[in-house]
């Protein structure tokens, strides 16, 4: 039997050659005339039997080779996706780098009017500079499974989802359709994409939640022509997540609500805050539990900008005691009480064990460090998320960026990309490449 290393080398060579030949075949097919034997030889690669293609897909352990394979032709890309998300396979157990979720990179636009972006690889510690003209004059306000939520600096009605790998774009309703229209892109704090479909973001079950500067929650579905406001209007919503089939939202006090969008909008409190506070709050699912991540900011010495001080993590648990603690609404009803006593609370936890969290303006991620070579668990990777990031960046203030990793076990912080990006570059966001 051949040496496994030689097999991997052979597969790598084969993929590279196949990628070249399939691309060459496009050229051959467009020629008016040419040797028939050459056309036949180039077509055989895209017509490779599925069982052989499956064998190669299951043998690849390099993301670079995998991307080469799926970029060879549409047929290979479609079949690879079927293999990747098939319940018959758990590729995260077959490969050191899971196929179900590529490891996030830190994406940082160079400047407001620039077409350049930095992609920072945590695993390799390298910075890649790429040309992405679609991000010029765009403010990135969300990230989910390879898609970026962007809004135009000069036209608040140009709001889209962009896949920078495939260049695909999905137009969202203009912000002029909001019940209370906004006039500046800097008034949009975050967009969260929520969908049970893990492959196709364009599925009609996708909900896009938009959080404005005041923390009001709005939503739309792909294909809608307007934004709908969630009533009652809870002030200062900070994050949204789908958990166990239900949409959940958290306000700046740590109160948790279930959000209903059909047939009527409704917010139902399910947990009250007893002891958790923070400058930024994030919701994330981890091993079947719902976590609340509190991020505390502090002013750097002798400056007017903020940097991350620490994190505190809470888990949603059942309580023996039922609570009827009030929560605040905005306009009309300043103080509300739950219709029924609540029996869920946030309980602080001291460790994430092997889990890694990625927080920022992206939809918060939780990944298992054991599935990624060279990664450590029990830590929180963070990207810029100061409330003043947009305002200061648009005015070209030279603030240092707040990107790094927080180690929960010893409270230590390591910063990324210091001195790498331009002093006027825009705030960064976590991004996971998705070629679909």
Query: pLDDT band for position 392 (50/70/90)?
Result: low
Which residues, 6+ apart, have CB-to-CB distance to 111 below 8 Å? 422, 424, 425, 426
Does one domain contain both 142 and 68? Answer: no
C-alpha dihedral sign at 188, 230, 291, 274: positive
Residue 28, CA atoms < 13 Å, CB-side half-sphere: 17
For the sheet with 306-323, list strands across it.
280-286, 289-299, 306-323, 342-349
Identify the domain boundary among 94, 123, 156: 94
Does one domain contain both 87 and 109? Answer: no
Query: pLDDT band for position 98 (50/70/90)?
Result: very low
Does one domain contain both 37 and 148? Answer: no
Identify the domain boundary among 71, 94, 117: 94
Which tens digit of pLDDT belongs to each residue from 29-49? 444 444 455 544 455 566 777
Assigned domain for 293 exists: yes
Domain count, the chain: 2
Does one domain contain both 164 and 18? Answer: no
75, pLDDT greater than 70:
yes
> Residue 279, Cβ neighbours under 10 Å: how many?
17
Does one domain contain both 227 and 251? Answer: yes
- pLDDT at residue 77, as a whole number: 75
Q: Which domain holds residue 369?
A: 105-431
**Residue scoring higher pLDDT (86 or 302):** 302
Q: Crossing angle, helix 50-59 and helix 4-30, to 10 degrees?
A: 130
Q: What is the rounded CA–CA span in Å between residue 308 and residue 382?
A: 9
- pLDDT at residue 185, as a whole number: 78
Does one domain contain both 141 and 115? Answer: yes
Average pLDDT, the chain: 76
CATH classification at residue 384: 2.120.10
Which tens digit of pLDDT belongs to each residue from 3-12? 434 444 544 5
- pLDDT at residue 343, as a whole number: 80
Chain centroid offset of residue 361 CA: 8
Assigned domain for 194 exists: yes
Which tens digit of pLDDT belongs to each residue from 324-380? 665 655 544 445 656 667 788 899 999 999 999 999 989 999 999 988 877 889 999
Determine the average pLDDT of the residues in 66-88.
68
Cβ atoms 106, 416 nearer than 8 A: yes
**Residue scoring higher pLDDT (306 or 19):** 306
Q: What is the rounded CA–CA span in Å between residue 77 and residue 181?
A: 41
Query: pLDDT band for position 196 (50/70/90)?
Result: low
> Residue 276, Cβ neighbours under 10 Å: how many?
20
Does one domain contain both 90 and 111? Answer: no
Query: pLDDT band for position 198 (50/70/90)?
Result: low
Nearest to 241 by CA among 193, 300, 200: 193
Does one domain contain both 213 and 253? Answer: yes
Cβ atoms 287, 274 nearer than 8 A: no
Q: What is the rounded CA–CA span in Å between residue 391 and residue 382?
A: 20
CA dist 217 to 152, 206, 220, 239, 266, Å?
A: 20, 16, 11, 9, 11
Tell me how many helices (H) and strands (E) the chain has: 7, 25
Percent of the chain with pLDDT over 70: 67
Identify the domain boundary among 41, 59, 94: 94
Which tens digit of pLDDT belongs to each residue from 279-322? 899 999 999 999 999 999 988 777 677 889 999 999 999 987 77
252, pLDDT greater than 50:
yes
- pLDDT at residue 148, as a whole number: 92
1, pLDDT greater than 70:
no
**Residue scoring higher pLDDT (263 or 251):** 251
Assigned domain for 99 exists: no
Does one domain contain both 194 and 119? Answer: yes
Assigned domain for 193 exists: yes
Strand stretches in 153-201, DSSP E: 159-162, 169-171, 188-194
- pLDDT at residue 159, as a whole number: 93
Nearest to 326 by CA among 246, 275, 259, 253: 253
Does one domain contain both 110 and 253? Answer: yes
Alpha helices of 31-113 — where are they, by DSSP H? Answer: 36-46, 50-59, 63-70, 74-84, 91-94
Helix, strand or coil, per DSSP, at residue 220: strand
Assigned domain for 373 exists: yes
- pLDDT at residue 10, as a whole number: 45
Cβ atoms 300, 399 nearer than 8 A: no
Determine the average pLDDT of the residues in 77-84.
72
Does one domain contain both 278 and 167? Answer: yes
- pLDDT at residue 388, as a whole number: 62
Which tens digit of pLDDT belongs to each residue from 152-174? 888 889 999 998 877 888 999 99
Cβ atoms 184, 214 nearer than 8 A: no
Does one domain contain both 229 and 302? Answer: yes
Assigned domain for 330 exists: yes
Query: pLDDT band for position 76 (50/70/90)?
Result: confident
Q: What is the rounded CA–CA span in Å between residue 119 and residue 104?
A: 10
201, pLDDT greater than 90:
no
Assigned domain for 295 exists: yes
Assigned domain for 100 exists: no
């Amino acid at each position: 039997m051949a040496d496994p290393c030689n097999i991997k080398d052979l597969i790598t060579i084969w993929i590279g050659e196949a990628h070249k030949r399939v691309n060459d075949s496009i050229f051959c097919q467009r020629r008016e005339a040419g040797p028939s034997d050459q056309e036949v030889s180039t077509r055989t690669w895209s017509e490779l039997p599925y069982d052989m293609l499956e064998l190669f897909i299951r043998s690849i352990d390099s993301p670079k080779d995998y991307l080469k394979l799926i970029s060879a032709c549409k047929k290979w890309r479609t079949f690879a996706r079927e293999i990747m998300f098939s319940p018959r396979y758990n590729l995260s157990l077959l490969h050191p780098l899971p196929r179900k979720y590529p490891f996030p990179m830190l994406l940082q636009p160079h400047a407001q009017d620039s077409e350049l972006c930095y992609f920072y690889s945590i695993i390799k510690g390298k910075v890649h500079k790429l040309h992405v003209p679609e991000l010029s004059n765009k403010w990135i306000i969300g990230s989910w499974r390879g898609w970026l939520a962007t809004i135009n600096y000069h036209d608040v009605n140009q709001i889209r989802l962009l896949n920078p790998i495939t260049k695909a774009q999905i137009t969202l309703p203009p912000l002029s359709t909001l019940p209370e229209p906004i006039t500046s892109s800097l008034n949009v704090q975050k967009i969260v994409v929520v969908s049970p479909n893990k492959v196709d973001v364009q599925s009609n079950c996708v909900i896009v939640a938009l959080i404005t500067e005041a923390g009001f929650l709005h939503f739309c579905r792909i294909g809608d022509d307007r934004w709908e406001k969630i009533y009652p209007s809870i002030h200062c919503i900070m994050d949204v997540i789908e958990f166990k089939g239900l949409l959940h939202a958290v306000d700046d006090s740590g109160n948790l609500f279930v959000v209903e969008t059909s047939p009527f909008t409704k917010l139902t409190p399910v947990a009250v805050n007893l002891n958790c506070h923070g400058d930024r709050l994030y919701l994330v699912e981890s091993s079947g539990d719902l976590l609340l991540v509190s991020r505390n900011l502090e002013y750097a010495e002798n400056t007017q900008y903020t940097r991350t001080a620490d994190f505190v993590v809470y888990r949603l648990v059942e309580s023996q005691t039922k609570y009827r603690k009030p929560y605040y609404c905005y306009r009309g009803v300043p103080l509300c009480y739950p219709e029924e006593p609540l029996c869920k609370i946030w309980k602080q936890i001291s460790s994430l064990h092997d889990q890694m969290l990625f927080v920022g303006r992206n939809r918060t991620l939780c990944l298992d460090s054991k599935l990624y070579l060279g990664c450590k668990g029990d830590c929180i990777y963070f990207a810029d998320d100061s409330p003043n990031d947009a305002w200061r960046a648009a005015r070209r203030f030279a603030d240092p960026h707040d990107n790094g990793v927080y180690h929960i076990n010893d409270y230590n912080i390591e910063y990324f990309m210091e001195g790498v990006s331009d002093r006027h570059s825009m705030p960064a966001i976590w991004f996971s490449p998705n070629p679909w």
